[in-house]
A and B are shown apart, each in its own frame.
Chain A
Amino acid sequence: MTSLRYNRTNRFILYSALLLCSVMFVLPLFLTLSNSLSPWFDTPDFLPRAFEIENYRFAVTMIDFWKFAKNSVFLCLITVTTTTLSSGLVGYAFSRIDAPGKKVLFMIVLSTMMLPGIVTQIPTYILFHKYGLLNTFYPWLIWGLGGSSFFIFLYRQFFSVIPKELEEAARIDGCSIFRTYWNIFLPLSLPVVATVSIMTFQGAWGDFISPFMFLNEAKYPLATALSTIGYVYERSVIIQQVAAAASILFMLPVIATFFLGQRFLIEGVVTSGIKG
């Protein structure tokens, strides 16, 4: 595909295709942004007829926005730190330490990716209810400590290209297995660590179903709050413009982390990716 020269027509077709796709992908985001700056109940247009930055103030005051945001941050903090470290540890064991039963266990890890979440979520709800874990943040801590099978896989792929000599040198110097992971492998694996933490953050930030099932409204993160509590005027009419502003505010952290880490994200997946 990467032929060395393009003639003019080919180049024109290529750039038009790229441009057209870009417009299609950006348009909904742009229209939402424009909607969020329009006066209430205005007919939407490409560009807002006024510049109602006030909508953003309403977005954070009409509901208890900051409280929900705080819950979101807390949930993400728990999930990201535990998942990133724990998955790395398990991935390291799978890539570097030989033990009987390893292959079978790894097949099990991979096959859990196929397990539909909702099949375990509902019984989990009943069990949590039984054991008094509902409306606490402990489940997120426990899930995080267990790591995630996809990230374990990603770490394993990444670690398996690190040369064996490094490990042997460390062992000769008297490094324990765990210290080899902590002091040598993790620092060498910043791209994959960044990829995993960003993807975990984005997943935790956007997840609204688990909090909806396992928490009460006071502990809802922003995602659940925005999908259950609307911005309404006189109890029934949804104010599109304010809701759009809230949704822009809500996706900002995700988009920001994406731009910050996209070099890692894309290279992390493309290079360590599916090969192997």
Chain B
Amino acid sequence: MQHRSKLTRWKERGSLRFPFFLLMKGVDLIRTERSRRTLAFYLMVSPWVVVFAFFGLYPLFYGLYLSFTNFIGFNIDRLRLVGLQNYKNVFSDTDAIYSLGRTIYIAIVYVPIGTAVGLLLALLLNRSIRGMGIYRTIFYLPSIVPLVSVGLMFRFLYADKDGIINTILKFFHLPALNWLGYDYATLSLVIMLVWGAGGGILINLAGLKGISRDYYEASSIDGASSFQKFFRITLPLMTPVIFFNLIMGFIGALQMYIQPILLTGTRLLDPPIRPNYFYAVHAFQQVFAFQRFAYGMALLWIMFVVILLLTILIFTTSRYWVHYETDQEG
């Protein structure tokens, strides 16, 4: 027993619970309460700050730097700055312009639909009747299915010859459609995305639960119909949530590349069919299929700046149309 090591003694005092605790012991030595708290704060957030600096900011700006070079995969030791050449190339690249058009198209078509579906499902669920928990689970379930499985499932559902959807259509004597072909590929993608749109339910439900029941009771007394309640109470009070969903939806849609690739085939480097050839897919292709790293980074940085501008624009104009609860108190 007398041979207890220093380590054992520390263990008994509980200091080895977590290495961080040792650091905190040091914090306790500092005299003033205020500087102690400041130091503790910065120590505790340091994991995030350090990782963000080295694995977030550094790659981000390293990518910006690469977009001004002639990097094509093997010449990392002999990089040459080429100025704005890569950026100029983007505007003369017909594939880039085409893919941008398709991206904007899918964003405009899908985002409002996805947001509306999320809200409508939440409205449907925001009632106190029996079995609601089960419906909530069912609606939410598709959004947690991993994308790999979603892609695989829908590829088989949509299959031209032996897909179940076409089998069902034939059963009702309707013409079979080439779902993954040129004409319907985007529609098929939108259907697949809407199927997973239930993820938006939670945030909408949280918003709906935040609306005081007093409003509805008061309006019932005044004889308001359900439609009036929806348009005069629910919708205005839900605008912050809708607005949040729209922004996040747009940002997500502009950088979408995984879903169309998964809907295409088993190989991640196969380009999707033309209508689903989106901007980020184009960048992904340039980098991983053609090793055009510098050009790919230029493409991505343009996307990044557009997303940034869009976010700022939506945030600054939001006060004209978003109804926050505090506005109406006065």
Which A residues lie at the B interface, using CB under 8 A? Answer: 1-3, 6, 14, 17-18, 21-22, 24-26, 28-29, 31-32, 35, 41, 43-45, 86, 89-90, 92-94, 97-100, 102, 105, 108-109, 112, 114-124, 126-127, 129-130, 139, 142-143, 145-147, 149, 152, 176-179, 181-182, 202, 205-206, 208-209, 212, 223, 226-230, 238, 240, 243-244, 247-248, 250-251, 254-255, 258-259, 262, 266, 269-271, 273-275
Min CB distance B243 to A, Å, is: 11
Q: Binding site of B, secondary structure by majority: helix, strand, loop or mixed?
A: helix
Quick check: B135 and A146 within 8 Å, CB to CB?
no
Q: How many residues of B contact A (CB 8 A)?
A: 104
Q: A243 and B56 in contact (CB under 8 A), knowing A14-B124, A100-B38, A118-B255?
A: no
B73: nearest residue on chain A (CB-CB)? A126
Q: Which residues of A contact B23 (CB under 8 A)?
A: 178
For the complex, what is the distance from the CA of A177 to the CA of B25, rounded to whole Å?
10
* Residues of chain A contacted by B27 (CB below 8 angstroms): 176-177
Quick one: given A1-B216, A240-B159, are A251 and B149 in contact (CB under 8 Å)? yes
Q: A254-B146, A266-B140, A273-B203 are in contact. Are A120 and B59 (CB under 8 A)?
A: yes
With A118-B255, A142-B55, A269-B202 known as contacts, the answer to whether A208 contacts B47 (CB < 8 A) is no
* B56 contacts across to A, CB distance below 8 A: 112, 115, 120
Shortest Cβ distance from residue A35 to the other chain B in the assembled complex, whole angstroms: 6
Q: Judge whether A93 and B41 touch: CB under 8 Å.
A: yes
In the bound assembly, the distance between CA atoms of A124 and B175 in angstroms comes to 48
Contact of B162 among A28, A43, A145, A262 (CB under 8 A): A43
Contact in complex: B37, A99 (CB < 8 Å) = yes
Residues of B within 8 A of A (CB): 17-18, 20-21, 23-25, 27-28, 37-38, 40-42, 44-45, 47-52, 55-56, 58-60, 62-63, 66, 71, 76, 121, 123-124, 126-129, 135-142, 144-149, 151-154, 156-157, 159, 162-164, 167, 195, 198, 202-203, 205-210, 213, 216, 220, 229-230, 234, 241, 244, 251, 255, 257-258, 262, 266-268, 280, 283-284, 287, 293, 296-297, 300-301, 303-304, 307-308, 311
B146 touches A25 (CB 8 A): no
- Residue in contact with A28 in the complex, picked from B124, B147, B154, B304, CB distance below 8 Å: B154
Known A-B contacts A145-B51, A274-B206; the reply to A18 vs B146 at CB < 8 A is no
Q: In the complex where A240-B156, A275-B210 touch, is A176 in contact with B146 (Cβ < 8 A)?
A: no
Q: Is the CB of A240 within 8 A of B76?
A: no
5 contacts between A and B (CB under 8 A): A28-B195, A29-B145, A149-B48, A178-B18, A226-B152
